[in-house]
Amino acid sequence: MRWITRERPKIDRLACPWLIRRFIDPEAEFFFVPYDQVLPQAQALGATPFDLPEVEFTHYDDRCTFDYFLEKYALDDPALHLLAPIVRGADTDDHTLASQAAGLWAISAGLAYNTPNDYELLEKAMPIYDALYSWARYLPHERHTQSPTERLFLRVFHDYLHKPPSAKTKVPSWAQELKAIIQDQIDTNLSLSLKEISEGLDIHPAYLSREFSKYFNNLSFGEYIRKLRIEKALELLNSPSHSLAEIAYLTGFSDQSHFTRVFKRHTGQSPAEYRKNVPKK
């Protein structure tokens, strides 16, 4: 089969050739020509035009050409239907359709910018869509936990949750280990998110919060982390080595004003006031 479309492809005109080669016709040929030459060249080459107004393989309502190929060829692979809103969102600039759409657009735009030859561009795009398909088929629920502390948190808590009830002691080992992990890492801009942790464990945040407080001074996860941050801030304020903005960063606050508000709520004075009253060594 031969297919033809407009030159300088970005999203739909790369995603559709990938779809055709991988799921419809591995030997398909593609041609990229100026807009006003697509239909004349389609007739001359015996090629089917796509992603062009007033041809069969094109956009319909809010759907893009990729969607039409899925429908036309009855491709019911769930991974392809997970890809569809990503391609559609990137192609139509509606990045609300899928969180990955903005990333696909950015990668595609950069790839097109770096590759002026459309046929070379298509070959470079093929492994990108292969990778996206593999993610959609095998890894859509896998999360990338960047913080080593958070990875340890997940491992320890996950091990605890999967122990039989008889193995859970009054003060479980996970709580002791977790306390040490958090305390050891509190000076590295700790930014553990209860929501992300709960999603990674596939449990409800309320359950995690309830279990956490039993073994951490009756404090919620957020309260306990804030307590440690304030304690670390007090330690850093006793030394002139860091500015207030740097201390806010090192203790995991979003900015200096947030740090000041929380610190004053816990100690009754601002960080600057506290530092003024620190005895000179």
Q: 119-165 pLDDT, tens per residue?
A: 999 999 999 999 999 999 998 877 665 555 556 555 665 665 556 65
Q: Quick one: average pLDDT of 182-202?
A: 55
In terms of average pLDDT, the best of 29-38, 147-156, 222-231 is 29-38
Give the least confident one: 35-39, 159-163, 259-263. Answer: 159-163
Q: Name 276's Cβ contacts closer than 8 Å, sequence gap at least 6.
A: none
- Where does residue 143 rank: exposed (0-12), middle (13-18), buried (19+ CB within 10 A)? exposed
Who has greater pLDDT, 98 or 146?
Answer: 98
pLDDT of residue 223: 76
> What's the pLDDT at 29?
98
Counts of helices then strands in the chain (DSSP H, E): 14, 3
User: 60 Cβ partners below 8 Å, 6+ apart?
Assistant: 67, 68
- Whether this prediction's pTM lies above 0.85 is answered by no
* Residue type present at position 37: Q
| The pLDDT of residue 155 | 64
The more confidently predicted of residues 229 and 122 is: 122
Strand 29-33 relative to strand 2-6, pairing: parallel
CB-based burial, 48-68: b 16+ in 10 Å, e otherwise: bbbbbeebebbbeeebbbbbb
Q: Tell me the domain boundaries of the chain.
A: 2-138, 148-276
Q: What is the topology classification, in CATH, of domain 148-276?
A: Arc Repressor Mutant, subunit A (1.10.10)
What pLDDT score was predicted for residue 242?
79
Residue 181 and residue 152 in contact, taking contact as beta carbons nearer than 8 Å: yes
